[in-house]
Amino acid sequence: MLRRLAVFTGGFSAAAAGNVAAPGALLPEVFGVLASLVNKSLLTRTGDRFSLLETVRAYATARLAEDPVDEAATRRRHADFFVALAVQADSALHGREQNRWLAQLELEHDNLRAALDWSLHSEDVALALRLVAALAWFWYIHSYLDEGCRWAARVLNCAARGPDDLRARAMVGAALLHENRGAYETAEALLHDALPLARAAADEVLVGWCLTVHGLVARNKGEYERAAARLAAALAISRVRGERWMLEVGVLWLASVERYRGNTARALQLFDEALAAGRGLGDRLIMARVLAHLAGMLSDAGDPARAQPLAEECRGIRQEAGSRWTEGIGLVTLGIALLRQDQLDPAEDVLQQAFDVFRELGDGARVAYALNALAHVAYGRGEYARSAHLLGAAHAVRARQGEAQTTGLVLAGSFSRAIEALSERGFEAAFATGNALSPGEMLALVRP
């Protein structure tokens, strides 16, 4: 059993050890063996998790490699176990148990990586595709965007002959990750290839999910008519098929489209529907996104006092979920609500935290958003040159992302207010200074 435990990385539970290293054994028997290995200082135990010491793991790995047949069978069981875990978690991430399952996937992330790596080396395309598709939402929520995109690219490059439905699911998952990185063209190319595969597989729900993500990409490109059409088509499928979570997400994203189009009454109606759906499913992350939009709308309407508690609730929900990206969105929403109440010191503190989160995650679009909001703080203090510097820095970040604009994320009037205070020539000089800042200089600008 010891040599088979070498296939685990990052620790394991007794149940995982039994399934992978001692198939057919009863759990009390597995616990007995693990306890014996702990007593011999070959394993360490922390709570319900066991780990091999590195020197022991190296020895066990070498011993396992002496029997290629047993090694292949053990690694297969390991991969199968964690694929099943990922698939089970994927369906549970949209309900009342989402925080528990997000934590479980985080705990087992190293084992999931190992399963992906083995599936690629063993050329098990179907298993690799299932894993990418099942992990996409976790990667999206917990901001493993670059890593998820890399895994998806590796798998899809090897999957030209994989089953149509699995390829389409992996493509849509990869598109969602690329969308959140601001790589809209890459996301659209993946969706363009995924949609006919989903239709060829006669999987109507998968077609609906493809259209849903396509609608999100179009929204973020500012193509609101196209976004609304895609999302409406997806919602029709969701309602017919009774897909409550896909319906919830589609309604939320369509509501945001209507918000950005200026259709306030329609947007509020749809946000109410999305919030009710989120409460019904127990999907607190969707509820947080609705709260963020509602807080933003209240701030835009000149009622930041009502926006602030919604923004704070949103931030709290996202912290519970352990999602850095969603926590950052909550910070930005709260920061803008404080800013519009002229609470400049707390607004700056919160927006600086948001900047740090998005910089850490490599989310250039929202780094630029935080910089724009911080420019308003600087302007409110009469720091007009710093305000223009921040705007220039935001422009440089967006340019590096290849973005023409950041839908719904730019505070209206930033440029005109700075120009008014500095004169056009003075603004241009200060803006150019901010536009040319190095990453280190940008950090110093954010925290003077």
pLDDT score of 322: 65
Determine the Cα–Cα distance for residues 312 and 366; give it in Å rounded to an integer: 19
User: Quick check: 208 and 182 in contact, CB under 8 A?
Assistant: no
Judge whether residue 413 has pLDDT over 60.
no
286: confidence class by pLDDT, cuts 50, 70, 90: confident
Q: At what angle do helices 304-320 and 324-339 cross, to 10 degrees?
A: 160
Higher pLDDT, 70 or 333: 70
What average pLDDT does the chain have? 88
Ramachandran angles phi, psi of 343, nearest 5°? -90, 75
User: Quick check: 43 and 11 in contact, CB under 8 A?
Assistant: no
- pTM of the predicted structure, to 2 decimals: 0.81
pLDDT score of 407: 38
Judge whether residue 321 has pLDDT over 70.
no
Closest CA to 277 of 100, 93, 94, 88: 94
401: confidence class by pLDDT, cuts 50, 70, 90: low
**Per-residue pLDDT tens over the stretch 66-106:** 999 999 999 999 999 999 999 999 989 888 888 899 999 99
How many angstroms separate the Cα of 374 from the Cα of each of 208, 350, 408?
39, 10, 16
The CATH number fitting domain 1-66, selected from 1.10.10, 3.40.1350, 1.10.3470, 3.10.110: 1.10.10
User: Quick check: 294 and 331 in contact, CB under 8 A?
Assistant: no
Q: Quickly tell me which residue has 């958003």 as its tokens.
A: 369
Rounded to an integer, the average pLDDT of 237-261 is: 92
Indicate the helix (H) or strand (E) that contains 406.
none
Which residues have C-beta within 8 Å of that of residue 136, sequence separation ≥ 6? 148, 152, 170, 172, 173, 174, 176, 177
User: Quick check: 407 and 219 in contact, CB under 8 A?
Assistant: yes
411: confidence class by pLDDT, cuts 50, 70, 90: very low
